Every structure is written in C-alpha cells, then in structure tokens.
Amino acid sequence: MDRIRITGGVPLEGSIPISGAKNAALPLMIASLLTDETLTLDNVPRLADVQQLFHILANHGVDTSFQGKRTGQDQLAGQTVDLLARAIVDTTAPYDLVSKMRASFWVIGPLLARMGEARVSLPGGCAIGTRPVDFFIEGLRALGANIEIEAGYVVAQARAGLIGNRIRLPKASVGATHTLMMAATLARGETVLENAACEPEIADLGECLIAMGAKIEGHGTSTIFIEGVPRLRGARHAVMPDRIETGTYALAVAMAGGDVTLEGASADHLEKPIELMRQAGADITVTNRGMRVRRNGHGIYAVDAETAPYPGFPTDLQAQFMALMTAGKGTSHVTETIFENRFMHVQELARLGAKISLNGQTATIEGVKTLKGAPVMATDLRASVSLVIAGLAAEGETEVSRIYHLDRGFERLEQKLSRCGAQIERVSA
Ligand code: EPZ
C-alpha cells in the first residue's frame, strides 16, 4: 500500500492551484440524475470519491465522458465532464457501492423525484460518528414518499410524484439539504426548507439546478424556497473552488512557514478560518489570483477554535487546525460540535510529539517547540491531511500510511506541495 514520506522543516514557497470542491462536485454530479439532457461540469477534481460516484451513477444509467485537455493547460487544471442520464436503468443503489461513500446515499432524492421510486443502501463513509439518515427519511416522507427500511436498504416510493411541503430540518444537515432541495425541484407545488444548511456548496448546487430550469430562492441561507417544475434540462456549470483544500494549504503554510499563493481560491468562503489563522500569526491577503498566505520570522500563537455549521469554523478543517496548534506558543482548545468521533488524529499527532488531552468534545493542546518525525497512520480524510501538515514542520522523516483516505479528497497533494519546495513523495510498499 502506498505511503507518503515527508522530510519536514522546509518552508513552502510558490503557488498551489486550488481544485474544484469535492463536496460541491459530488452533489452536482448527482443532480445529473434529474434530467434526460446533458449536464456539463467544469473544474471537476480528480479524486477517488469522484471516481467512485461515477461508478454509482453509471449503475443508474448515467453516461459520463471526459472532455480532453487544451494545449497549454496546467496539468493540475480541473477536468470537464459530460453527464447524461437519458434513461434511468436501475433505481437501486447497492450496498457494495454506497457503503464506500456516504454522499452516494443522496441519489435517493433525484431518483425518487424523477422515477417515483428508489432503493438505496444505508450509507458508509468516513468513520467520524454515527451519521444517521433520519432527516432524509422524514423530509422525503413530508414530500409524500412512502419509505420503509428493508434489509439495510431505504426503500422509497412516490408513484404519483412528490408533492411540495414545508420541512423543518431538526439540525442544519448538509446532505439532507442537498437531497431535499434536489427532490423538491421536480415535486408538484412549493417546498419551503427551513433550518437548511447554508454551506457554499449548497448555494453552488442551487445555482446549477437553476441553470437546469429549477425555480429556487434562498439557497445558501437557512430558508430555501423551491417551486417544483415538470422537468429539468441540461446545463453547464463550473464547480466552485474547494474551500477546505484552500484552508488546508493555508494552514500548511502557517505551520511550515513561507509564502504561497493559493491560485483560484475564494477567501469569501473562509472568513472564520482566516480570522483564526491571522490570530495564530499567518499573514493572509486576498489578491486577484486568489489568496496569499505567509508566515515569516515569528512563531505560531495559541488560538481556540470551535466547529460550527457555515459560516462557523468548518469541522472539515478541525484536524488541520489542531495540527497547527500543536506547535503554538501556549495552550489552546479545539472543540468539535458537529461529529461525535472526529478526534482520531489526536493519537497519531501524539506520535509526532504533540501534547493533546481529550475531554469529551474538547481537545486541549499544549504547544511544543518541535515535533519529531515518526510513522503515522491516516484514519479519515481530514485527519490524514492533518498528519501531513504536522509532518511538514516536524524534524526528520514522517511516513503516513493508509493514504487512500487522502486520495479520496485531495487532488495530487504531493505534486502540489512539492511544487512549493516541500520534501514529500509517495512511496509504494
Ligand atoms: C457533509 O457531510 C460533508 N460531506 C462532510 O465532509 C462535512 O464534514 C459535513 O457535511 C459537515 O459540514 C459532503 O459534503 C460530501 P451533515 P454530511 O448531514 O452531509 C447529523 C469531508 O471530510 N445528521 O451536515 O454527511 C450528523 O450525524 C466530509 O469532506 C443526523 O443526525 O453532514 C451530524 O452530526 C466528512 N441525521 C450533523 O447532522 C441525518 O439524517 C451534520 O451532518 C443527517 C445528519
């Protein structure tokens, strides 16, 4: 199995192109199930999760074709993909496909809306908490679907079509918001989605659905209005830049020191993380190319962080921020409020010499002067990249194993970092 080997202590200098957002690309690809015309997506990242979703969609009858590269295009530029679901050939999403990635469960919304039925395996994904699907089930029931759980599958039917309704989510769930918004686009009448998640990826999906002919207002806020239409058409849409990848590389620069421009990054989606990174000593400016991050000549300050739904500090940057705090001057606290088991990086960071104690949902981090390279193991996507960040600053060699987690969500991470001078390579066992 491949590992990533890092020799730490080298400041990062140069530029890193930011890829299209994984967590926007996945729901956008799923939206192709809503129409029998071609949905063209630009800036699709090359990731294992994206590949996995192509398999799942193919099983439902979606043809995908990749448009070729143009001459002079950066090798790290995003790809353009045509998705065509002319006919849905199967409304079952089987266990062996869905269990690998939670987001694939979201196909239930479009399949049910377009075909009046869906049979989707209960999901899998990163082991960061129990991650139930009760909001999806209650929401789809409110839209008139009949839903049963049978042998590990959610079996949903709405033979006469879905009917718009007022739905209040018990918690602002990203996945439930994506799914119910997609389902409601083809329902009869108006749906009002209250306490909806406000993440920028939801706004991005909303824009794409509107380009496909959907009638949506309020996407990106906590109340979304969707007036159902009889059918949606093809469209072209560019996936938004990945705010979590951006935040991750910004934290890597804050950790290792140096001066890096994150090309194509959008600072608008990172207000809270930027505020905390500045307090920690990073110098962040918005330029016409993206975002420039520097930390030269001074240390890292200890800063507290607490995760919250957007626009709060994202849970998907919690592990990376904690990695930075392991080298902070003093004591900091990082509190996780979204998932109950998202601290698996703690024991791996400890192998590098980090001093972290856990009390419930709060980690207390006592900054150390130097981390020391060691073999560590990736446990989930964001946890694994936190080990890379720590390894970039640690003395000596760090080897991260089980990096298939990283490949799920970070496009060509070693190339991007080594372009900035990092001593990082992928080694095969
Ligand atoms: C999305 O997951 C992201 N995944 C996650 O990113 C991200 O961590 C999360 O949102 C929070 O921002 C994608 O976009 C593909 P939720 P999602 O539903 O939709 C509870 C990464 O590393 N809940 O907003 O699964 C749930 O247990 C991934 O890229 C229910 O109780 O998250 C959690 O406590 C990991 N019942 C909270 O809501 C439900 O039916 C928020 O989860 C649904 C959710």
CATH number, domain at 413? 3.65.10.10
Asked whether the predicted pLDDT for residue 128 surpasses 60, the reply is no
Q: Which residues form the domain of 246?
A: 3-18+241-427
Which residue has the least CA distance to atom 44 on ligand 1? 173
- pLDDT class for 100, splitting at 50, 70, 90? confident
Ligand 1, atom 27, lies closest to the CA of 131
The answer to whether residues 213 and 113 belong to one domain is yes
| Per-residue confidence band for 74, with pLDDT thresholds at 50, 70 and 90 | low
Residues 249, 345, single domain; the answer is yes
Domain boundary among 238, 270, 299: 238
What is the structure's pLDDT at 78?
81
Q: Are residues 12 and 26 in the same domain?
A: no
How many structural domains compose the chain?
A: 2
Domain match, 360 and 220 both? no
pLDDT, average across residues 135-162: 96
Same domain flag for 199 and 284: no
210 and 267 part of one domain: no
**420 labelled catalytic:** no
Reply yes or no on whether the pLDDT at 309 is more than 80. yes
Same domain, 183 and 313: no
Of 238, 256, 283, the one marking the end of a domain is: 238
Instruction: Assess whether pLDDT exceeds 80 at residue 429.
Output: no
Same-domain check for residues 340 and 423? yes
Whether 100 and 196 share a structural domain: yes
**CA-proximal residue: ligand 1, atom 13 (nearest):** 23
Please check whether residues 347 and 422 belong to one and the same domain: yes
Q: What is the pLDDT of residue 127?
A: 52
pLDDT(68) > 80? no
320-373 confidence digits (pLDDT tens): 999 999 999 999 999 999 998 899 999 999 999 999 999 999 999 999 999 999
Residue to mutate, 53, 131, 382, ligand 1, most ligand atoms under 8 Å from C-beta: 131
- Classify strands 305-306 and 290-295 as parallel, antiparallel or unpaired: unpaired
pTM of this prediction? 0.96
Q: What is the per-residue pLDDT for 34?
A: 98
**β-pairing verdict for 331-335 and 305-306:** parallel
Percent of the chain surpassing pLDDT 90: 88
User: Which of 179, 209, 238 delimits the end of a domain?
Assistant: 238
Query: What proportion of the chain, given as a percentage, has pLDDT over 70?
Result: 96
Closest atom of ligand 1 to 129 CA is 27
Statement to judge: residues 250 and 230 lie in one domain: no
Instruction: Please tell me the predicted confidence (pLDDT) of residue 75.
Output: 65
pLDDT band at 66 (very low <50, low <70, confident <90, very high): confident
